[in-house]
Every structure is written in C-alpha cells, then in structure tokens.
Chains A and B, each alone.
Chain A
Amino acid sequence: MSNPLADMDKPDVIFCIGTNMTEAHPVAATRLKQAQAKGAILIVADPRHIPLARRADLHLQLQVGTDVALLGAMAHVIAERGLMDEAFIAERTEGWDDLREHLKSFTPQWAEEITGVPAALIERAAVLFAQADRGAIYYTLGITEHISGVDNVQSLSNLALMTGNLGREGTGINPMRGQNNIQGAGDCGALPSSYPGFQPVSDPAMQAKFEEAWGTKVDLEPGMTKVRALEHAGEKIYAMLICGENTLVSDPDKSHCERALERLDHLVVIDIFKTETAELADVILPASAWAETDGVFTNTERRPQRVRAAVSAQGQARPDWWILAEISKRLGSDRFEYNSAAEVFNEFCSLSPLYAGLDWDRIDGGGYQWPVPAADHPGTPMLHVDEFPRGKGLFKTPSYRDPAEVVSEEFPVWLTTGRRLEHYHTRTMSGRSTGTEYLVPEETLEVHPADVQAWGLKHGGMARMSSPRGSVLVRVASDDTSPPGTVFCSFSFSDVPVNILTGSGYDPITDTAELKVCPVRVEPAPDN
C-alpha cells in the first residue's frame, strides 16, 4: 500500500476495484465502513454484487476481465472534462500527452459495450473520483489475477496520477496483500529476479555484494517464475523444495500441476500438515507452526511485526530456518550457522537497504513501516510524498484486450474464483477449526436464480462444471450475488478442485494466472 491502514477512514471518495474486502480483509474493511459513516463516497467496481458493493454509493458491475476498458473510460472522462490535477501532472509526472492522445478512443459508450456498465455510470464514477479532495484506490487479486494484470494496475496508476491522488493523507494506490507474510516473502528475496530488499540479481554490483556476504557468486541471470518452473518440470527442473504451499490445490490447471510434480526426480515439502502437495513428496519435513515459532511478518502496509512462540511445537516439528540450515550443512555450506530466528532476521536486515535501520529488537512493538534506511529513521508510513522511486510518475498507455479465453457455444458461462469470509485458501487451517467449518462445511457454486431455472439446476442440487481442462461436481447455491451468465466459487475445498478448470492464461510480464476468468459449461448432475 502506498498509504497506511490508518488512512483508510480519511478519504472522501473511496474506489474499490477487484477487492472483496469485507470477506478477504475484513478488518481493513471496517475502516472503510467507518469512512462511509463519516460521509465518504464509496465506489465499488466488481463483477459480483459483493457485500461491499451492497454498501456502495455506486456499483460498477463490470463483465469479468474488462477492467482496462472501464478504467480507461474513467480516465477518458476526466481528461475530456478537464478534471485533472494539472499542477500535479506538470510537477510530478511525465507522459501525459501520450496518455491523453491514447485515451481519446476510450469513450464511455465504447466501454459500455465491453464492460456492460452503463456509460452514464462510468461518467459519474469518473467525475466523483476526479473531484475528490482525497481519493483513494484499493484493489486486490481481482485486478492482478488476469492476463492483463499489469495493464490493470497501470490503468489504476494513471487514474491516481492524473488526479493527484498520491503522496497525501487519505489517498494512494493501495493493494491489499492476501497472505499474512506475502509482502515479507518478496521483501526477503524469494523472487527469481531480486535479492533480499528487491535488489536486482542482474546488477553486477549486487552480485558482488552478496558474494561477499554469502561466499557464493550467484548468476546474473534471473531464475524462472514458479509457473514456468512447473511447466519445465522433468525437462529443465528436476528437483523442488516447496515450503508451506499447497501448490496442487491453490495453483491453476491442477492436472498439469500434478503431472509436473510427478515428473520431478526429487520433491521435498516442508509443511505443517500432510497436504495434497505433500502426498507427492519424497521427503516431508514437519515445520513448527504459527503460535509455536518466533519470527516476523510484514503486513500489507509494509509494517514488520513480531510473531511469538506461545507453545512448544507439536511432536518433532522444527522451524523452517533450522530445517533449511540443516539441509544446507549437508550440502557442504558453512553459511547457515544460526542459533535463533533473531540471527536470521538481523542478517536479512543488514543486507536489505529497505530494512537497514531495523533489527529484531527495534521492531518489537511493530512501530515501523519500510523503507527504514537508517537506525535514526522514523520509517515511511506514506510512499511517494515528494517523488517516485524513478523520479517522475510515468503514465503508461495500456490497451484493452479480451481475457485469454472468452465464452463460446461450448463454454457459455463466465466462472470467476475467489475467497469466502469463513475460509482461507486451501482450508488447511480454517478447515480444521470448529467454528469456520461449522458455518461453511462445503463448497457451493453461486448461480443467479434466473440461471438456476434456465439451466435446469436446483438450489442445493448438484451441477457439473466443465472447462477445456476438466470438470468438477459442485452443489448449487441460488444467489443473486453473481449476475446472470457469471458463476462464482472458491478454491478452498479439495473435493471441489476448481483449479482443474482454471489456467487459461497468464500475464505476460508477471506470469500471474488468470484465475478470475474461466469460461465454463454448467449442467445439472445427479444428486449424491
């Protein structure tokens, strides 16, 4: 997030797109509700009539995968009506003339054809956002899990830049990170292109820096993304270590993923449960869990916070850092001599300029947001106050393209996948907790009541849902949250492995899967 969570009750116009925040980030959503109570206007763009949309002043119910058209049309309206922040554009940005030219064809009428959102509604949303004193954008995977994920983010960036909604309280471009430490995993360099602290592996100076720290010269060439690594399993990739991820259930195109893992000569899984992925391993190493492990999580607002062991680990389970050190020692390395999580964290801080001013003791109270470049630095709750990392903010000119697969006679229905409040990812945790499991014991397919009737389904009955990659059986829930022609389900239940169906395409830059769009066919199936 460019702005802190504490800012969320300060905007006067809130624009949420592709974020089912009351279900996926409920505590952050409470701040938005409080902003609304104080009079803020809430604009929600989402294909489904999600709880946040039910609270919204404007709901832009766009067709799945058409975000670039919607956002481009909003920018078009702002440009045509001269509602931009001219001073901000002049001082803080570059590329405006190119964008302005590019936006000419993005008329609201054109966008209505593609998105299904009435042109008048697009115009109203654009004007409201442009006229906000403090306009803030919040988004989640509904923006990024598309083949156009990067284009979607750049379109949002254009909106914020052209209206001067960055670097001030109650504004910003604010992605809500979905996992407790997904920000931290990137911060720590678990990426094919960067060392800890997002320092590029392709930079020879960084190569030298880490060679000095670790005694190994690491390739200048970036590694593969996970998606490519699975694709090349059994050709270029022959061994994998998977730590705390149920790849088989969470990743797109399950059958492909299963074949990939089976093609490996050697698979080691570190986890707390014997997940579907662990079942395929040659070696499973039991990890100590949350509540048993000392460590650090960095949240969506870039705040490192300490987690603490309150009970001993179950059985012989050990912390991940210990397990990796022991394997490394057996591979002949003497660079993993740690006695505590604190030592690992402090080494990471010493090598990462974003964390250079922090250490284990300093983050005890969670009082810092990175970057914290020096020990006397107070931290950076808000990014981009005076300048952007590259200096001036750059307008990009993304164009609309259809999702990787579009509906056809054979697969006439849009499936979009996501989360539910009660469960988390593949349910390894929430499925083993009495309350959450009591409320939502099985997966259902959300189908609009009109479609339930038209397709010969019944509420509570079974349906077979198929895509070009496979099919699953799922119980039908008649529900008007999804519009006619679009169905929704989560990937949380392994007995409804919806990721058998997904995997139609990937963003060409990030390799993020288009999990939000998958044309399917839905037919009645015998009750079981």
Chain B
Amino acid sequence: MSLDLTLDGQVVPFQEGETLYEVAHRHGDKIPTLCYDKRLKPLGACRLCVVEVEGANGPLASCTTPAREGMVVRTVTEDLEQHRKTLVDLVLSENPKGAEITPLRGLASQELAQLSVRYGSDGTRFAGATSGHPRLDDPNPMILRDYEHCISCYRCVRVCAEQEGDYAISITGRGFGTRISAEFDVDLQDSDCTFCGQCVQTCPTGALGDQLALQYTDLPEPINATRSICPYCGVGCSVDLLTKGETLVGVQPAMDGPANEGALCIKGQFAWEWVQHPDRLKEPLVRKDGELVPASWEEALDRAAAGFAQTAARHGRQSIYAVASGRAPHESAYSVQKFIRVNFGSNQIDNCSRA
C-alpha cells in the first residue's frame, strides 16, 4: 500500500518511518534548519523547520514529526515565515558578527549567515547580553573554539557521540549559561577528542573553525573546491580540496563520499600542509663526485636511463629491479611495472605491501 500526504497542495508519496522534513526535503522544499544534520538523530531544538499540519494545535517541528497517511502539511505560510524570522533574529542577537564568518571555518559554517540574508536579520532587534564562552586559549593548532558564535544547537556534541562514538564533548550549564565543554573543561588534547574535525564541519555558525585553513583568510583569491580522495589509509574517504589560486588552503569532507559519507579522521582533515612544504623536491638531483646536485630534467633522465642500460648490458636484464608505490595512483604503479616488463622483459617488480 502506498502512503501519501499533501505537501503545500501537492499529493506526495512517502515511506513508513520518514519524517515530514525528509519528505519535504526529498520534494525540493527548502525548509530552513540550524540544528539539523541528516546523519544525526533529529533534535527539534532550533524550531526553524516548523510546519503547519491541519488538525494540529500549533506548528510542529518537521524534523521530529513522523509523516502519516493523509496529513495536510504547509511548509511556507506568512505565519511560519514570521515565526522563523523571529527565531533568526533571536539567534543572531547572540551572533552580531555571524554574517561575517569565512567559509574557511567549516563546511556548514555559512548556514546561519545564509539565514540572516534570507530573513533580512542583522541581530539588532533583540540586541543585549550574549551567552558565548569562547575557549580561544585552547592551544591546539587545529580546532578553533570561538564559542562567541555558539547557538547551542548541539550538532558538535551529537556528531561526536552519534557519528564518531567518541563522546569527547558535552553540554554543561543550563538555560542562558549553557555551553559546550570537554569533560572537566580541559583542553581538547587532554580529552577524548581525536581531532577528526567532524564538530568543526557540522557547526552551522563557524563557532568551531578549522584553524589551519583560517591561516589563509587574507589570500585574495576566491575559494575553489576540487573533489578528490584522502591520501592516507585504504578506506578512501572523499574530500574536497579547498584552494585559493595556486595555494592549497584546506580540506573538507564530502558528505556524498561513498566510503566515508562525510566522516574524516585527523590525518585526512588536518594533515595536508606537507603538499606545499618547503622541503618538497622541486628539481631533479644527480650524484656528482659523491654529492647530490641539481640537474635539468634532460640530464637527470639521461643519467637515469643510461644507468639502467649499462647495468642491463653488464649484468643482464634481470638485474634491474623496481618497487612501485602503494601511495601513488594507478597510473604510477601501472607505469612502473610496464617500465620493467617492456624495457627488460622480466618480472622484477614488486610494491611496498610486504613491509
């Protein structure tokens, strides 16, 4: 039996167990949210996703309301939009600078800024006391804890618990005094935090930020994202490489990565600066009088080839051996084995998997 409900005047099908938010989202509705991350259990805290359901006493949070047969749902009405604007005004009153957050802070860091544009809020309507308790003194160089922008959506706490299973951060205090803290208020490095960066990437206001990426805030070029795969272990997490011009400025997880579905670890998230490290080899080197000295590509390639040719002539074609890398892409490994097999007709080739 197919299940249907009426969504903004259209009859749409849904599946048992879906929430109203999921049904609406699937049908293209842009219901605003702040505390929602599709990987996490819905919390229903921000109340921005409220919708009107015929027969209900008041607006319902669509993220926590199960879809039911025959429901008549409205996602955009004047009342709802007024309610949402008031909420955004309230949230922004705590984040007067919320609209100036750079996207380098994190994947979801623009969510509040986008809502401020959508609802024309500037945070002045309810201006007053703010509740943030920044921990800018946390000495770790990766995760910025700029809680001045925290709106207590708990996405960081929930992703750490539900998605990572690490439970490194939690909520302390109540009401206006609510804040996010590691156990006993220690620095992150002294907690159960593994620096996977998931809290940074799900934060909708940039209260948590990628400090490594933020070093590049002042570079003038626009931010580009290039889809790639993490270069560390064999899980194969999808990432977006953030660049400004010719500078790699950060890495963000890809929510649609087939292997990771948005997850990363400390290495994939934060260990990428080596790409443009001054130690990188920038020119060929050849050994002359016992010393490795810079050479042109022509000279180095000639020297490399001549050495193999001479060795093969002197000791036979099977005296040449090659080791391919398990770190480099297919085109490297394929070329290394073909180099041996085509040039020397042997199988003197292996990769680094035995050690």
Contact = CB atoms under 8 A, between A and B. Distances in A.
A191 B349 contact: yes
B323 interface: yes
Given A305-B236, A335-B338, A283 B284 contact: yes
Contact of A245 (B195, B325, B349): B325
Give the top 8 A-B pairs by smallest Cβ distance, nearest first. A315-B282, A295-B329, A299-B236, A244-B325, A33-B165, A177-B234, A182-B326, A330-B305
Interface in A178-226: 178-193, 195-196, 201, 210, 214-219, 221-226
A421 interface: yes
A229 to B, nearest CB: 5
A142 interface: no
Given A243-B325, A316-B284, A291 B271 contact: no
**Chain A, interface residues (CB within 8 Å), range:** 35 or more
A407 interface: no
Interface stretch (A247-255, A391-399, A447-455): A247-255
Contact of B311 (A219, A265, A296): A265
**Chain B, interface residues (CB within 8 Å), range:** 35 or more
23 contacts: A36-B165, A181-B329, A185-B352, A190-B333, A217-B345, A221-B347, A223-B350, A226-B321, A227-B354, A282-B286, A287-B281, A290-B231, A295-B329, A297-B229, A310-B241, A311-B275, A316-B284, A319-B331, A333-B342, A341-B329, A433-B273, A512-B355, A515-B355
Interface string B54-95: 000000000000000000000000000000000000000000
A194 to B, nearest CB: 9
Nearest to A432: B274
A217 B347 CA distance: 11
Given A239-B307, A433-B271, A328 B343 contact: yes
A429 B329 contact: no
B308 A295 contact: no
B324 interface: yes
A308 B234 CA distance: 17
Contacts of A336: 335, 338, 342
B337 A188 contact: yes
Interface stretch (B115-123, B130-138, B312-320): B312-320
A294 B338 CA distance: 19
A319 to B, nearest CB: 7
A285 to B, nearest CB: 5
B258 A283 contact: no
Interface string B154-172: 0000000011110000000
Given A241-B323, A283-B287, A438-B140, A190 B351 contact: yes
B126 interface: no
Interface stretch (B1-9, B16-24, B243-251): B243-251
B271 A324 contact: no
Interface string A423-451: 01000111111111011000000000000
B53 interface: no
Given A282-B307, A327-B304, A320 B163 contact: no
Interface of B: 140-142, 162-165, 189, 194-196, 212, 224, 226-238, 241, 243, 246-248, 257-260, 263-268, 270-277, 279-287, 292, 297, 300-312, 314-315, 318-343, 345-355
B280 A317 contact: yes
Given A180-B230, A316-B297, A434-B141, A297 B329 contact: yes
Contacts of B246: 311-312
A429 B259 contact: no
Contacts of B337: 188-191, 195-196
Interface of A: 5-6, 22, 24-28, 30, 33-34, 36-37, 55, 176-193, 195-196, 201, 210, 214-219, 221-227, 229, 236-245, 247, 250-252, 265-266, 268, 271-274, 278-279, 281-287, 289-301, 303-312, 314-321, 323-328, 330-331, 333, 335-336, 341, 344-345, 347-348, 366-367, 421-422, 424, 428-436, 438-439, 510-513, 515
Given A304-B330, A316-B297, A222 B311 contact: no
A282 B303 CA distance: 9
Contacts of B241: 291, 308, 310-311
